[in-house]
Amino acid sequence: MDQKEFYKYYLPALAKALESDNNVSDFYIKGPEAFIEASEHKLREIEICLDTASGSNEFLDSVAYYFDAKSHGFNEIDGEKLCAYKERIKVKMLSIKSEYRIK
């Protein structure tokens, strides 16, 4: 799966996850993976992309840090307020959408 196809599935799911990130249940917040709408085959491909990118994709790592911090009730990540961190993720999402021409 190439980057464009990955982000075509991932970014809408991330948007939904960010919209519902205040619905905390037993310290669990649904991350983007819970909102991806795709076949089982595509879901496996997306999971492989996420595993491969872990530690080497700053954007995807920042998303993981955000949802981890949010689920643990932290107010900051490395001194940055969570609301500012979330906004930075949203700005990067728009940049990626523009780069790959994703609606």
Query: What is the residue-averaged pLDDT of the chain?
Result: 94
Contacts of 16 (CB under 8 A, 6+ apart): 32, 35
| Separation of alpha carbons 48 and 56, rounded Å | 14
Q: Give which of 79, 60, 69 is closest to 21, Cα–Cα.
A: 69
Q: Of 65, 11, 18, whose CA–CA distance to 37 is shortest? A: 11
pLDDT (average), residues 56-85? 96
- pTM of this structure: 0.92
Percent of the chain with pLDDT over 70: 95
> What mean pLDDT comes out for the span 64-81?
94
pLDDT (mean) for 65-92: 96
Over 80: is that where the pLDDT of 24 sits? no
